[in-house]
Amino acid sequence: MKITKVLIANRGEIAVRVVRACREQGIASVAVFSEADREALHVLMADEAYPIGPAPATESYLRIDRLVAAAKAAGADAVHPGYGFLAENAAFAEACAAAGLVFVGPPPSAIRAMGDKTAARRIAREMGVPMVPGTIEPVASDAAARTTAAEIGYPLMIKAALGGGGKGMRLVRAAGELEGALRAARSEAAGAFGDSAVYLERYVSEPRHVEMQVLADTHGNVVHLGERECSIQRRHQKLIEESPSPCVDPAMRARMGEAACRIVEAAGYVNAGTVEFLVDSERNFYFLEVNTRLQVEHPVTELVTGIDLVREQLRIAAGEPLGYTQADVVPRGAAIECRINAEDPFGGWLPSPGTITGLRGAAGPWVRDDSGVYEGCAVSRFYDTLLAKLIVWGADRAAAIARMARALAEYKVVGVRTTIPVLAHVVAHEDFRAGRLSTHLLDRILPELAGSRGRLRSVAIVAAVLAEHERLGRRTLPPEAPSSTDAWRAALRPGVWGGRR
Ligand code: MV4
C-alpha cells in the first residue's frame, strides 16, 4: 500500500520532524492546529493545515473525531501520531483503521497489550527475559498483597497496571506502610488511568534507565538498534539521553537487544517501539515496560545507526520489508541529546510561557537542532514545555560531550527561561563526563548551580551597564591603542568605541 499523504496528529518539534521525513520521501504532509497554534512552526512547515479546535488539548489534539475528520477532508491516506497525545491510544489506532487510514504505529492489539504492564510482564516471563521480581497479575486484595509483598521483600514498589513512565508509582519501605500506600496508589491509578489495578515489584536502588530501540515489519523481521541511556531525569522527565550507554558493552547489548526482540515478537508488535530496562549497580538488566511509540529521544539512535526512524515507520506502515538484518545494524560513535524546555530551573522548574523575542540555535558539524519554535513565535502554556532538542554526534563519548558543550554555548533563547544553563552544567560535570550517571546526579549538582547564579546575575548587570555606556559613545576601556584585531572587530560593530573613528 502506497502512502502519499500523511496527517500528523501532533504539534511542536515532533510534528516538524515528521513533516521533514515526509518531504524527503515525496509524501505530502498535513498539519493540524489548535487555536493557540495558528502560527506554530509545524503549521508553517507542512503542505496543508487544518484547525481542530480550542487551545486545551482535550478539545483539539486529543479529539479523535476531529483528527479523523481532518484526515478525511485532506485526502490523507495515513496518520502519524508522534509521541504523547494519542500516540499510545488503541482506540485512536482503531478509529483510523475504521476510516480507511493507515495508522503509522503498532496494531491496536499490541498497543492495548503493552499498555497493561502486567500483561507485558507475563510475556517477558514466557520469553525468559529477566525482570524485576514481583507480580505478573494485578494484586487482588490487601490480604493477597501482604502475602506477596512478604515474598518479594521490602523495600518494594507499587505500580499502576496501566501506568508507565513513573506515573502512579509508590515506594513502600516496610510492611507497616503497605496498606496506606496501596490505597493511595489505587486511587491515584483510578484517577489517572481509569483503572485502579496495581502490581508489585521489588525496589531496585539507584537504577539506571536503559532502553532498546526496536523495529518490526509486517513480514516478521525484527531488529534492535541498540540502547539509549536515559538516567539524567528529574521527576521522571528526561533531560539528557545518549547512545550508546556508558554502562553497556557489546555482549550486554547483544543480550538486551535479543531480549527486546523476543518480547516484541511475542507481542505481535509491528513498527518502531522501545523496550525499557532497569540496570542495577552490578549491571544486571531487568525488563520494565514497552513503549509503543516513537520516543522523544529517538534521534540519538538515528545518529549512531544512520537509520532514519520516521522513514522506517512510514515504510513499515506501507507494508514494505525492513530490507536489512541485525548484522547490518552497526552502531558508530556516540550521540547525546539535550532537551531545551521553556522552564525556569531556578524558579521551581515552573513552565515559562511567553514570546521568544530572540533565538539563535546551534549549528556546525555534527550538530542537529530539532526545534519546534522560531524567533517571534509564542510559547503556549497549554502544552508541554519542550521547545527543541539539541542532538550531537562525536566519534566517541568524549568528543560528543565536548561538542554538546560547544553547541549549548551557542544556543541563545531570549524571552522565555530555559533549561540550557542546567544542561550546560551537567555536561561540564566530572561525574557526567566519567559516565557516572545516577538518578541522583541532578539533585546533587543543582544546588551548586543555584549558588553560582547570583554571581552570574551580578556579572550580567555590570555587562549591561557597560554596554549601555559604550552605546552612548563613552569609553569603558583605558585609552590605549587598540590591537589590530580590536580595530577590526570595532569596525564591524557600530556604536562601540572604535566605531566612532
Ligand atoms: C523502578 C525503580 C526502582 N525499582 N522500579 C522510573 C521511571 C519508570 N519507567 C520506572 N522508574 C523506576 N522504576 C523498581 N522496581 C526506580 C525507578 C526510577 C528511575 C529509574 C531509572 C532512572 C531514573 C529513575 C527515577 C525515579 C525512579
Can you give the pLDDT of all 501 residues of the chain as single tens digits?
A: 899 999 999 999 999 999 999 999 999 999 999 999 999 999 999 999 999 999 999 999 999 999 999 999 999 999 999 999 999 999 999 999 999 999 999 999 999 999 999 999 999 999 999 999 999 999 999 999 999 999 999 999 999 999 988 788 999 999 999 999 999 999 999 999 999 999 999 999 999 999 999 999 999 999 999 999 998 999 999 999 999 999 999 999 999 999 999 999 999 999 999 999 999 999 999 999 999 999 999 999 999 999 999 999 999 999 999 999 999 999 999 999 999 999 999 999 999 999 999 999 999 999 999 999 999 999 999 999 999 999 999 999 999 999 999 999 999 999 999 999 999 999 999 999 999 987 788 888 888 787 777 777 788 888 888 888 888 888 766 666 656 565 555 544 544 433 333
Q: Is residue 116 part of a domain?
A: no
Same domain flag for 188 and 234: no
Same domain flag for 404 and 460: no
76: region left, alpha or beta (phi > 0 left; psi from -120 to 50 alpha): beta
Question: Can you give the pLDDT at residue 458?
Answer: 81
For the segment 60-78, what is each residue's pLDDT rounded down to a tens digit?
999 999 999 999 999 999 9
Same domain flag for 363 and 400: yes
Same domain flag for 244 and 309: yes
Specify the residue with its C-alpha closest to ligand 1, atom 10: 166
Q: Which residues line ligand 1 (CB under 6 A)?
A: 132, 157, 165-166, 201-204, 207, 209, 231, 233, 236, 276, 278, 288, 439
Pocket test for ligand 1, best of 117, 156, 157 (most atoms within 8 A of CB): 157
Nearest atom, ligand 1, residue 156 CA: 15
Please, which residues have CB within 8 angstroms of residue 147's CB and are 6 or more apart in sequence?
Answer: none
Q: Is residue 324 part of a domain?
A: yes
C-alpha cell at 167: 506515573
Same domain flag for 11 and 90: yes
Q: Is residue 171 part of a domain?
A: yes
- Roughly what angle, to the nearest 10 degrees, separates helices 12-24 and 309-317? 70
The beta-strand segments (E) located in 176-221 are: 198-202, 208-216
Q: Is residue 297 part of a domain?
A: yes
Query: 215: closest CA among 90, 313, 302, 80?
Result: 313
Query: 267: closest CA among 121, 159, 84?
Result: 121
Question: Can you give the pLDDT at residue 483?
Answer: 61
For the segment 347-382, what is each residue's pLDDT rounded down to a tens digit?
999 999 999 999 999 999 999 999 999 999 999 999
Question: Can you give the pLDDT at residue 486?
Answer: 57
Question: Can you give the pLDDT at residue 461?
Answer: 87
The SS3 call for residue 439 is: coil
Number of domains present in the structure of the chain = 4
**For the domain that residue 164 is a member of, what is the CATH number?**
3.30.1490.20
Helices first, then strands: H and E counts in the chain: 16, 22
Nearest atom, ligand 1, residue 203 CA: 4
Same domain flag for 470 and 437: no
Question: Can you give the pLDDT at residue 477?
Answer: 65
Specify the residue with its C-alpha closest to ligand 1, atom 21: 209
Q: Which domain covers residue 339, as residue numbers?
A: 208-450
Nearest atom, ligand 1, residue 204 CA: 4
Write down which residue in 104, 121, 150 finishes a domain.
Answer: 104
279 CA distance to ligand 1 centroid (A)?
A: 10
**For the domain that residue 399 is a member of, what is the CATH number?**
3.30.470.20
Same domain flag for 377 and 435: yes
Same domain flag for 78 and 163: no
Other Cβ atoms less than 10 A from the Cβ of 494: the count is 9
Same domain flag for 437 and 484: no
Length of the chain: 501
332 CA distance to ligand 1 centroid (A)?
A: 28
Please, which residues have CB within 8 angstroms of residue 458's CB and are 6 or more apart in sequence?
Answer: none
Site of grid cell 537509520 = 307
Angle at 194 between CA 189 and CA 196, to 5 degrees: 45
Same domain flag for 289 and 355: yes
Same domain flag for 44 and 156: no
Q: Is residue 263 part of a domain?
A: yes
Write down which residue in 202, 227, 252 finishes a domain.
Answer: 202
Nearest atom, ligand 1, residue 439 CA: 23
207 CA distance to ligand 1 centroid (A)?
A: 7
Write down which residue in 175, 202, 229 finishes a domain.
Answer: 202
Q: Is residue 469 part of a domain?
A: yes
In whole angstroms, give the CA distance from residue 56 to residue 99: 25
Question: Can you give the pLDDT at residue 231?
Answer: 86
379 CA distance to ligand 1 centroid (A)?
A: 30
C-alpha cell at 469: 555606556
Same domain flag for 378 and 311: yes
Q: Is residue 113 part of a domain?
A: no
Q: Is residue 496 part of a domain?
A: no
In whole angstroms, give the CA distance from residue 303 to residue 391: 9
pTM of this prediction? 0.91
